[in-house]
Amino acid sequence: MPLPKKRHSKARGRKRRTHWKIRSANLILCPQCKQPKLPHRVCAVCGYYDGRQVMEIKVKEKKKKQ
């Protein structure tokens, strides 16, 4: 396997890495419950996708203190 003949400077390596950045998630509002969600995904809050319910979401019940 070939090896580099000369060492690359720090600046040269850093110039190459300038495009390695993290992008923020592109969130949209769910048309049913108005909660933010990822596009083209089922809403985790209400279970709707494309105007119809695809998933049934179980609601956690609060425990009563006895």
Tens digit of pLDDT for each residue in 30-52? 999 999 999 999 999 999 999 99
Domain residue ranges of the chain, discontinuous segments joined by +: 25-58
Q: When comparing pLDDT for 66 and 24, which is higher?
A: 24
Output the pTM of the full model.
0.59
Tell me the average pLDDT across 8-37. Answer: 93
pLDDT of residue 2: 86
pLDDT of residue 27: 96
Q: How far is CA 52 from the centre of its chain?
A: 23
Contact in structure between 52 and 42 (CB atoms under 8 Å): no
Q: What is the mean pLDDT of the chain?
A: 90
